[in-house]
Amino acid sequence: MKLSSVVLVSLLIAGAFGCKQVDEFQDADIVSGDAEFAIPLLKAKTSIQDLLENFDEFTFIEIDPDGVIHLRYKGDVLSQNAKEFFDDTRSKLPPLIPLGTPFFTLPFSSPGQLEVDFATYSTGTVSLALISDYVGMVDLTVQILQAKKNGQPMTVHTQFQSPIGIQPIVFHYPPEFVECAGYDLIPENGEVHIRYDAVTDAGDTIELPFIALVNQNIDFSYIEGYLGNFEQLGKRDSITIEFFENWTQGDVFFEDPVIKIYIDNSFGVPTRSSIDTFDILTVNDGRIPLESDFITETGIDFVYPALNEVGQTKSMTFTFDASNSNIKDVLGSRPIALDYKVDAIMNPDSIVDQRGFITDSSFYRIQVEVDLPLHGRANGFGVVDSFDVDFSGYGNLKEVEFKLVADNNMPLAIDAQVYFVDTTGTVLDSLFDARTRIVEAAPVDSNGEVTDPISRTNFSTFTTERFDKIRDAKKLVLHGFFSTTNDGQQSVKAFANQDVEIRMGMKLKR
């Protein structure tokens, strides 16, 4: 992360050492007759909102009606559809259903597991397998009485020459009697009745030694009733929290951080979350679980459409905040990512009288978001940044003095140190003798809002000998340490229009 103030200071120092060579004097002012020159290096004015644009594509910046900036980090949209449920239901439908008698009752429910009140076929065919020992022609009609289209039961009719051994007979006329699509199945007290009539060429009704329904590729587009306790397995995802990724030390505290779960649901059944993983990953390779009764005990109940709202999608937002979780603790633990997996359980309380529905287009979608309002406090919050430099074009100098003037309207004080590093990573020197406060935090009122800007000037002087020590430097490594007003003892608010102006120059003596 390049925190706003870090980005600014990095740009300023990069400009100081990289924008101009000291032998380019066209913009210099002569200070004295001893070949002393003042070279303006940089004048920068930027707001918090401008600086936050340096965040990556996964950081969403929003400003609330009060002007407070929010950093939001969103995970992927994770979607689960009804396919898994319908695959499971189809797998329980036997491919072969023997009919023991000419009027056969087929149970179409599993008490406490599945009770179908109404279903609509989407695909599949019904054919027959049979044995007949009669000698002559047989006229056979099979009806599934609870499966109807336009008020008429599903009927399979054929004539065949008997005797016949067991074999499947696929009927092609009329085609609507064997293609199941569009038929509604309405069990009667959890039962489906199937009747067959086998009539000989002599006009006698006979009972066949063996007859069975053959179900092929049967599937449903709609099922209504008590649909059992079914678990939808979610997908695992993670959210990178860029704000903290370069954090090296110190403490940060947000007044009102939240983690939101956005849920869209078109399953028409009671559904509850079953959170498998919801952990914060930290910069020191730690893993801290988010603790909440909604994770370990109660779960999150999804909103869902009622029986008279088939086809509708219901939406909700659930929020983990300080009142229902340990979010303040985990977001004060140098987090760099949120790792999570959210499953869903249908009919979690197994209330059979609570009827619902599922269509073949039913789905639920989950998206998780970390919301960090820039209202809080920081003390010694540290980051590191580096960039290239080249002093090869500098001539002989008696002295170099760097001057930095800051007019600050932000509630952040910045302590910094800059190291000059060669190609081997060896530190040659530092800009300041010790870590130096280069920008004071602007004063704030009791609400944490800035009342007046504040200014500060810093100097750093290099002798010829000291400057010669850094001529081989190829990188500047910036260590920045940030504190809110009163060294992190008071919470402040960061507003979009808060800005800082920094002017930097070099005074050279030859």
C-alpha 56/C-alpha 2 separation (Å) is: 10
Same domain, 133 and 176: yes
Same domain, 505 and 382: yes
Same domain, 127 and 28: no
Convert the pLDDT of each residue in 35-83 to its tens digit: 666 666 556 666 666 555 555 555 666 766 776 767 788 888 888 898 8
Question: Distance from first CA to last CA of the chain, Å, rounded?
Answer: 40
Same domain, 384 and 358: no
Does the residue 85 lie in any domain? no
C-alpha 353/C-alpha 349 separation (Å) is: 11
C-alpha 69/C-alpha 52 separation (Å) is: 10
Eight-class DSSP state of 35: T
Same domain, 9 and 128: no
Q: Which residues of the chain have pLDDT under 50?
A: 1-30, 168-177
Same domain, 207 and 286: no
The tokens for 499 are: 């800005």
Among 362, 387, 414, identify where a domain stops: 362
DSSP-assigned states of every residue in 274-308 = EEEEEEEEETTS-EEEPP-HHHHTS--BPP---GG
Same domain, 504 and 394: yes
Dihedral in degrees, nearest 10, Cα atoms 22, 25, 27, 33: 110
Does the residue 205 lie in any domain? yes
The answer to whether the beta carbons of residues 504 and 42 sit under 8 Å apart is yes
3-state secondary structure of 316: strand
The answer to whether the beta carbons of residues 93 and 214 sit under 8 Å apart is no
Among 362, 394, 425, identify where a domain stops: 362
Does the residue 82 lie in any domain? no
Does the residue 220 lie in any domain? yes
Same domain, 220 and 256: no
Does the residue 256 lie in any domain? yes
Does the residue 21 lie in any domain? yes
For residue 298, is it left (φ>0), alpha (ψ between -120 and 50) or beta?
alpha
Does the residue 73 lie in any domain? no
Range of the domain at 388: 4-68+378-509
C-alpha 11/C-alpha 17 separation (Å) is: 10
- As for how many domains the chain has, the answer is 3
Q: What is the pLDDT of residue 492?
A: 73
DSSP-assigned states of every residue in 136-205 = EEEEEEEEEEEEEETTEEEEEEEEEEEEEEEEEE---SSGGGTB-TT-EE--BTTEEEEEEEEEETTS-E
Same domain, 313 and 424: no
Q: What is the pLDDT of residue 384?
A: 73
Same domain, 247 and 305: yes
Q: Which residues contact 37 (CB under 8 A, 6 or more apart)?
A: 25, 28, 29, 30, 31, 507, 508, 510
Q: What is the pLDDT of residue 372?
A: 82
The tokens for 444 are: 């704030």
Same domain, 382 and 417: yes
The tokens for 491 are: 């919470």
Q: Which residues contact 303 (CB under 8 A, 6 or more apart)?
A: 263, 265, 314, 315, 316
Does the residue 75 lie in any domain? no
3-state secondary structure of 249: coil
Among 333, 362, 391, identify where a domain stops: 362
Q: What is the pLDDT of residue 344?
A: 92
Same domain, 270 and 354: yes
The answer to whether the beta carbons of residues 395 and 290 sit under 8 Å apart is no
